[in-house]
Amino acid sequence: MRKSTHHRNTQARVIGLPFDVQMQFEQPESLLETAVQKKSLLLICDQIPPSAELLHLLDKMFNVKVVVDPIAGLLVLQTDQFQQVVIVLEEVQSNLWVMLRSLETKSTQAPLPLLLFSPGMQASQMQKAYGLGVLFCCNRQLDARDISNQLTAFATFQDRFRQSLLNKAGLHDSLLRTPTSEQTFLAQLNDFIKSNFQQTNLSVHQIAKAMDVSISTLERKCLQLTGMRPRAYLNEHRMLYAYQFITSTNCNIQEASRKSGYANPSYFSVKFMGRFKMRPSDLMRKETRIA
């Protein structure tokens, strides 16, 4: 007669997932930790510091990087690659919609699996988030283990779905793990821009020279890989940095302009207004009121 065993483990029941995926979470934790290979995960969390329990649980399944707000997350996504993005917010702010719209416009890149947890989020906000590409929204108050269970379920489901597609195509998973020349090019471009964007005289010619390619090749590859031309891609990085710098420091227009790579504060304000539909001075006053 088979003995009945009970494990004090995750008991995730996620509506809409196949039953065999649900069964993954009835296995002992030691098996669960090895069942899915670690993925890279970006955690955007406005609780500082994030819950130690949540970080501990996520670290079992993911290589986790943490940032404190959606704009900081967008800045990181500009230069680093992640397989999963999780947003945990106490309250939905306008910077969330800035981030989601920015990711939505990058149609040349594969969509990121975005999961959004924000207690008290209104139904209209959830509908808006789904319309901007969020995979899963939850407006209930969840503890760290609940959130971890949801993420584990989605990660397992994605792995199995991806593997089934590979099997049908007669491919092996290892074929997709080798970085392509395009991925290497984008990583080098991101590294250069991240290190040099504060130079006010940085030109497309200088970027092409540093990448050891012609300007036409740089233009073509950058547009293909990011959906933007090199100048626009550089300005996008500068704008995201400026937004984060303003919201995290008590700076003035001149300082924000200089730190973001713009020699002329007036031109900086025009570019900021065009990107975020508000003047940098408006954002500074808003942050001052919050503080």
- CA-nearest of 235, 239, 229, 198 to 95 is 239
- pLDDT, residue 107, reads 47
- CA torsion sign for 192, 193, 196, 199 is positive
Q: Where are the alpha helices (DSSP H) in 197-250?
A: 204-211, 215-226, 230-248
DSSP string, 247-269: HHS---HHHHHHHTT-S-HHHHH
- pLDDT, residue 157, reads 62
Question: What backbone torsions phi and psi does residue 204 show, to the nearest 5 degrees?
Answer: -65, -35
Alpha carbons within 13 A on the beta-carbon side of 134: 22
- pLDDT, residue 211, reads 94
- CA-nearest of 60, 132, 118, 110 to 86 is 118
Work out whether strand 62-67 and strand 136-138 pair parallel, antiparallel, or are unpaired.
unpaired
Domains in the chain (CATH in brackets) are 19-175 (3.40.50.2300), 181-290 (1.10.10.60)
- Compute how many other C-beta atoms are within 10 angstroms of the C-beta atom of residue 253: 17
- pLDDT, residue 285, reads 83
- pLDDT, residue 22, reads 36
* CB-based contact 116:131 (threshold 8 Å): no
- pLDDT, residue 238, reads 92
3-state secondary structure of 138: strand
| Start-to-end Cα distance in the chain | 65
What amino acid occupies position 161? F
Alpha carbons 9 and 74: distance in angstroms, whole number: 34
Element (H, E) at 84: strand 84-88
- Compute how many other C-beta atoms are within 10 angstroms of the C-beta atom of residue 252: 13
- CA-nearest of 226, 161, 159, 231 to 187 is 226
- CA-nearest of 287, 286, 256 to 272 is 256
How does pLDDT run along the chain (291 residues), one tens digit per residue? 444 444 333 333 333 333 333 333 333 343 334 344 577 889 998 876 777 888 888 887 788 888 888 888 888 887 788 888 889 888 888 888 888 888 776 544 556 788 898 888 888 888 888 888 888 888 887 777 777 777 766 666 666 655 565 555 554 444 444 457 777 888 899 899 999 999 999 999 999 999 999 999 999 988 888 778 899 999 989 998 998 899 888 999 999 999 999 999 999 999 999 888 889 998 888 765 555
- pLDDT, residue 91, reads 85
- Compute how many other C-beta atoms are within 10 angstroms of the C-beta atom of residue 216: 9
Alpha carbons 139 and 112: distance in angstroms, whole number: 20
Report how far apart, in Å, the C-alpha atoms of 254 and of each of 213, 269, 281 are.
34, 10, 11
